[in-house]
């Protein structure tokens, strides 16, 4: 039986998610953008215009659902997402969660943690945003977003991981994560599982920041899903070139992990604050960082390497549904395939 998924326009059946991009940002701002209001005042109409353009482009490739992974303190605005969803006729799932310590806004909950039970407050926030709504609206978060630093899950970040696992136990919704520069994938999986999360409902994100197959296998060993969700980001924020991550991906698909891999771009379609200024060299590296890059450039490469249409369908349609609603039939089929091997 299908389960219910919270989208920004209300609940849908997990069977209706369809082709899904599992980690994008309609708009995003590094905390601090709020202070640059003199030069970077938020333009709601522009955010909606850009969002509608994204909706149109991805729908042309059959996408029905986009998961917006924007953390609470990075400009998440569920009401704008709802307007984009309604006017653009696209399903959007929004997140509840905070970004990693280095690029998020840790001061708020660190100060509260120094004085009192911040962890209880974070848990309370997750539950209310998932079951009742965000910021006084009736728009509910559909995924829990967690994030850790390069080579470490800090004490601050650990509070969110513990609360996220606990909130998943209570509500059943998936956890999607941020790993920094391709580190801490196995450690995130271990921590979440030790706190009672269902590995099948965990998507360890930005794993394509690391091209070492052994690192991926050590993460997959825990039963979680891994996301190659930064296609198009090359040479900045520790990201490898697409060609290298594609090779790693093909290797894992060849090893039989098709049903545990999710793909996306982590695009930021509108930067909050001032418009971004990029040196030409960086702009060139990021030329393909847009929300249809996978369909236009990467999927054809996968097919050239022998990846089948059925595998592509599994990755974009079945795997996102399974993240929300793990299918027992699939589990049985996998057990059987393992026995045959």
Please report, as ranges, the residues that interact with Zn ion according to CB under 5 A. 69, 266
Q: Residue 51 Cβ, how far from Zn ion at the closest point, in Å?
A: 16
Look up residue 292 and give its two tokens: 């249809």
- Alpha carbons within 13 A on the beta-carbon side of 131: 11
Are 101 and 71 a contacting pair, CB within 8 Å?
no
Q: Which is nearer to Zn ion, 70 or 258 (CB)?
A: 70
Q: Which is nearer to Zn ion, 22 or 69 (CB)?
A: 69
Are 283 and 251 a contacting pair, CB within 8 Å?
no
Q: Which is nearer to Zn ion, 201 or 230 (CB)?
A: 230
Could you please report the per-residue DSSP string of 27-74?
A: SB--TTGGGGTTT----HHHHHHHHHHHHHHHHTTTEEEEEE---GGG
Are 107 and 304 a contacting pair, CB within 8 Å?
no
Q: Residue 336 Cβ, how far from Zn ion at the closest point, in Å?
A: 36
Residue carrying structure tokens 């595998």: 311
Q: What are phi and psi of 292, to 5 degrees?
A: -120, 5
Q: Residue 229 Cβ, how far from Zn ion at the closest point, in Å?
A: 8
Q: Quote the CA–CA distance of 291 and 296 in Å, as a whole number.
A: 10
Q: Which is nearer to Zn ion, 83 or 266 (CB)?
A: 266
Q: Which is nearer to Zn ion, 147 or 307 (CB)?
A: 147
Q: Which is nearer to Zn ion, 253 or 262 (CB)?
A: 262
Q: Residue 74 Cβ, how far from Zn ion at the closest point, in Å?
A: 9
Q: Residue 91 Cβ, how far from Zn ion at the closest point, in Å?
A: 18
Q: Which is nearer to Zn ion, 69 or 312 (CB)?
A: 69
Q: Which residues of 84-120 are buried (b: 16+ CB within 10 A; e: fewer)?
A: bbeebebbbbbbbbbbbbebbbbeebbeebeeeebbe
Q: Residue 215 Cβ, how far from Zn ion at the closest point, in Å?
A: 20
Residue carrying structure tokens 């982590």: 266
Look up residue 81 and give its two tokens: 């997402």
Q: Residue 145 Cβ, how far from Zn ion at the closest point, in Å?
A: 8
**Strands 91-97, 143-147: parallel, antiparallel or unpaired by DSSP?**
parallel
Q: How many CB atoms lie within 10 A of CB 14?
A: 18
Q: Residue 95 Cβ, how far from Zn ion at the closest point, in Å?
A: 9
Q: Residue 266 Cβ, how far from Zn ion at the closest point, in Å?
A: 4
Residue carrying structure tokens 């393992």: 338
Q: Which is nearer to Zn ion, 32 or 256 (CB)?
A: 32
Q: Which is nearer to Zn ion, 103 or 170 (CB)?
A: 103
Q: Quote the CA–CA distance of 266 and 127 in Å, as a whole number.
A: 25
DSSP 8-class letter at 316: I
């Amino acid at each position: 039986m299908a389960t219910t998924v919270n989208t920004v326009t209300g609940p849908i059946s997990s069977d209706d998610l369809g082709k899904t991009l599992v980690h994008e940002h309609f708009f995003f701002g590094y905390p601090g953008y709020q202070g640059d209001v003199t030069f970077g005042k938020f333009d709601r109409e522009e955010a909606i215009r850009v969002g509608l353009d994204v909706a149109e482009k991805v729908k042309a490739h059959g996408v029905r659902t986009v998961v917006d992974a924007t953390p609470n303190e990075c400009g998440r605005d569920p009401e704008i997402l709802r307007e984009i969803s309604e006017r653009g006729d696209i399903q959007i799932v929004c997140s509840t969660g905070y970004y990693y310590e280095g690029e998020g806004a840790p001061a708020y909950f660190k100060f509260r943690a120094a004085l009192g039970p911040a962890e209880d407050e974070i848990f309370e926030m997750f539950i209310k945003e998932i079951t009742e709504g965000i910021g006084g609206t009736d728009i509910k978060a559909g995924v829990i977003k967690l994030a850790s630093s390069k080579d470490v899950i800090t004490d601050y970040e650990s509070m969110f991981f513990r609360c996220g696992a606990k909130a998943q136990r209570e509500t059943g919704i998936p956890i999607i994560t941020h790993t920094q520069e391709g580190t801490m994938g196995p450690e995130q999986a271990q921590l979440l599982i030790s706190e009672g999360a269902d590995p099948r409902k965990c998507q360890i994100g930005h794993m394509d920041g690391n091209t070492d197959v052994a690192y991926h296998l050590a993460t997959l060993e825990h039963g979680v899903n891994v996301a190659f969700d930064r296609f198009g980001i090359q040479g900045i924020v520790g990201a490898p070139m697409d060609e290298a991550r594609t090779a790693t991906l093909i290797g894992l698909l060849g090893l039989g992990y098709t049903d545990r891999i999710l793909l996306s771009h982590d695009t930021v379609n509108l930067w909050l604050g001032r418009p971004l200024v990029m040196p030409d060299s960086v702009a060139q590296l990021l030329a393909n960082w847009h929300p249809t890059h996978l369909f236009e450039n990467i999927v054809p490469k996968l097919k050239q390497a022998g990846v089948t249409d059925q595998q592509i369908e599994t990755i974009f349609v079945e795997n996102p549904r399974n993240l929300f609603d793990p299918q027992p039939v699939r589990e049985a089929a996998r057990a059987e395939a393992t026995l045959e091997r």
